[in-house]
Structure 1
Amino acid sequence: MPHRSRVSGWEDPALCAEAVPRHSGLGFLREMLAGRLPAPPVAATLGLTLEEAEYGRAVFVLVPGEEHYNPIGSVHGGVYATLLDSAAGCAVQSVLPQGVGYTSIDLTVKFLRPITVDTGKVRAIGTVLNSGRRTALAQAELRDSDDRLLAHATSSCMLFPIPAR
């Protein structure tokens, strides 16, 4: 059997964790987009990239590869879920004031179409549906380059204060 391998590297995730309380949610995401803060290790592991961030919206992209495959020869559902969770979560983060953080409470995913290496680049577009004092609701759509819907998710997030470090 032919062997394939991949090498990835990442920066210290503590750099981002320490920066969170110093920025609004959107400011934090913009620092990552500008390269002044490193991407999280999961981004290097999966090869996903934050492409856009604006108030109430975040977009991640991924070019699917064999390393994302499940045993039946298509992208594993966990990769879909990670993209959708990242987009929905960062959309929520984009509306948070300085000193407030979030964590996902739940994620409901609907898989609509298979993804393979032939699919090409996919985009996960997250948008905030509602943001309150303690919780936020977001959705995310996973789309291919022809704008076909591949999967959809909704996510509830808990909001909480983050003390300055």
Structure 2
Amino acid sequence: MKKIPTLEFIKNMIAGKLPKDVTTNMRYPTAISKTLKMKIVNVEKGIATIEIDADSEVHGNQQGTIHGGLLCELADAAIGTAHSTIINDDETFTSLELKINFFRPVWKDTLKAFATPIQSGKTITVYNCEIKNTQQKVVALATSTVMTLRGDKAVGR
């Protein structure tokens, strides 16, 4: 198997042009993305957009709207994908913090999470992630602090 950079791997995956004999240091698509049927629709260096067809019949809470945990996972997936495009092959990362504000309920809609860095340092990067509905209204806004791991800290993750 030929190993290629994560950004190149994801771009090829989105375009449907991913050769069978290539891999990357990250696991894409992720297991949770496959389970929840989320898909990466755009990626650039440090930036990612992830989409989900959210339906309260599948992703609902006790009030009958989309569960906030699904919105957290959508934001976390977008932020993690964005960060995976800026680290080196021998590095990995972990979330230190995730905060989310919910602005409007959703019952059934295609939601997109747009993750972009606010501050990018050598070890710590802070991301902003807007989750919008098909009317381009913000459903939720998340911020997350991500730490890049190197050397022994990156082994086995």
Question: What range is the shorter-chain TM-score in?
Answer: 0.7 to 0.9
Q: Which among 60, 70, 73 is matched to residue 69 of structure 1?
A: 60
CA contact (8 A) 1:139 1:153 kept: yes
* CA distance in 1 between partners of 2:8 and 2:91 (Å): 12
RMSD: 2.3
* Divergent runs of 4+, >4 A: none
* CA distance in 2 between partners of 1:32 and 1:103 (Å): 23
Question: Aligned-pair distance for 1:97?
Answer: 2.6
Matched, 1:143 2:143: no
Question: Aligned-pair distance for 1:24?
Answer: 3.5
Give the partner amino acid of 2:42: E
Q: Which among 63, 81, 85 is matched to residue 94 of structure 1?
A: 85
* CA distance in 2 between partners of 1:134 and 1:28 (Å): 23
Give the partner amino acid of 2:80: G
The alignment-based identity, stated in percent, is 27
Residue equivalent to 2:104: 113
Matched, 1:158 2:139: no
Give the partner amino acid of 1:138: Y
* CA distance in 1 between partners of 2:5 and 2:88 (Å): 5
Output the TM-score relative to the length of structure 2. Answer: 0.81
Question: Aligned-pair distance for 1:148?
Answer: 0.3
Structure 1 gaps, min length 5: 1-17
Output the TM-score relative to the length of structure 1. Answer: 0.77
Question: Aligned-pair distance for 1:106?
Answer: 0.8
Question: Aligned-pair distance for 1:44?
Answer: 2.0
Deviation digits for residues 3-49 of structure 1 (CA, Å, limit 9, x no counterpart): xxxxxxxxxxxxxxx99xx4444234335435546511211221211
Give the partner amino acid of 2:68: G
Number of aligned pairs? 143
